[in-house]
Structure 1
């Protein structure tokens, strides 16, 4: 426990055949703070819930409870093209997509069910994720719960954790998240074909239904997107397509496109470390060249209310303003 934040580590929220799934909870010392659920990156196959930008600092600065959640990581068969990313020492249980999504939704429902126990407000929840976690956060935002993912996955999803609670979220922050799996070239090896169980031509419905962009409707929650224009891991076209879908559906969104920056806010992909330092990289150079697009809509008879009043640079202040506007 710090002076400003109480930390609960290793809370079990689900038990799967391959092991327990846990979350860490960071609680500011305030009455009923809103909740942010963080979904880590790592290509759906690597890293742990500790891969999060300083949660104690931002729980205090933003006056939000933050839950960083584990989810089943992708199993990689021997000889898979992504074997180099597979860490046999990673203690996180493993499975196959859509297990990752099923677990994120289970964590959201569990967090709603235990809000009174830990004294945070779970009526309005924001999901925040980076890279693969950005994909899962976006998917959690535009798909109400796992049973709505689509026919291609109907036999692979089940609500076993707090099934009477809502799995919906009311806002989402995506850092360089994969939003449209149909952008993947056909008949190539890699992480997404591994997730989908084959190529795009073999499983077109799985690729489409696993893509957040497919599920955007006028009922989708507001979105804050941040993406590097030079991203060599998740092409910035993913965020462009998602933002265009928001505009077409009449959903509020803000899209920061950071010039010259690669994945995890570095200039050279060889310099990527982890998400733990990503916010520091953004905050270190708030004047970095960036383009900002806004989609702001008003209900009939209402007035426009932008998500970010003065469009601060991409970084912690922009996220705080977005959270204040959407879940507080």
Structure 2
């Protein structure tokens, strides 16, 4: 197993509400690619420690892994989701699109400091779970924060190493939110995130949806989702996959039969992303279906993203990263 150098609590941005930090795990190998992880937690809770064993997978995969904090959604007193927010969470807060602004700032900062920490600035993948999956997908299909759209123009600004690119070369989404327009709730997390219901802010819902920004230049994407997910409906991943297929971008989608959010079997048993990989790998023979969109230029042979089609788990991610950014 490769030795790992760990850098914890690196400040990558100064915000009015506090310092934004990241943790970085770098294998002692020659210029490894980088995976940037965004944690789940409904955009309003959890911290960058909510990640599946980064020291282990940095070593086993031979990839640098960064877990990036992003500003969590501010929750006003009396909000119907107030009970989900942990007052003791030290992560600074803001309002959307601050979350996305921070993710892109973290990617740009990491690219600017690649030589200092010893990884490859040109080979970067975004990986996220649930709300973090939304941010990872958005990071993949929106090159820069200023491209998000007119609905957020006044709030979006590049201040952290703006000369660097915020692009990524591959994306992994675990049960990520891909299309906010699927939500018509008047209350809840997403109306809080968007500042109100979709009927009042249709442009915000559309522009904050990764599926709205997919183009033929979007990076290849691995989507993994449980068919029984009661928190983020599997239709999010299906719709994103179909859109990528329509524009000719390679993508692969795993559907885990009978699994709920965070790879639990029941919504009452949902745990954190810290143990998600263990849950996912607990039964490698768990029923699952795999859908692949492989697009080929005329005169060339198909090049599958996952030629071996391993069961969903760490080997799936490693093979996908090896095919896309190694």
Give TM-score scaled by structure 2 length. 0.99
CA deviation digits over 1:97-125, x for unaligned, max 9? 00000000000000000000001001011
3-state SS, counterpart of residue 121 of structure 1: coil
Match of 1:316 among 306, 314, 317: 314
TM-superposed deviation, 1:3: 7.2
Q: Structure 1 regions of 5+ residues with no counterpart?
A: none
Where does structure 2 lack aligned partners over 5 or more consecutive residues?
A: none
Distance, in Å, in 2 between the alignment partners of 1:153 and 1:147 is 9
Deviations 1:228-275 (A, max 9, x none): 000000000100100110110110000000000000000111111100
1:196-275 matches, cutoff 5 A = 196-275=194-273
1:249 and 1:291 map into 2 onto residues whose CA distance is: 23
Query: What is the 5 A alignment of 1:29-178?
Result: 29-178=28-177
Aligned-partner SS, 1:123: coil
Measure, in 2, the Cα distance between the counterparts of 1:246 and 1:314.
Answer: 21
2:12 match = 13
Please point out which of 189, 192, 205 is paired with 1:191: 189
SS at match of 1:260: coil
Do the aligned partners of residues 3 and 254 (structure 1) sit closer, same or farther apart at CA in structure 2, a change above 3 Å counting?
closer
Q: Give me the CA root mean square deviation.
A: 0.9
Q: In structure 2, what is the equivalent of residue 298 of structure 1?
A: 296
The match for 1:287 is 285
Q: TM-score, with normalisation over the residues of structure 1? A: 0.98
CA distance in 2, matches of 1:82, 1:25: 31
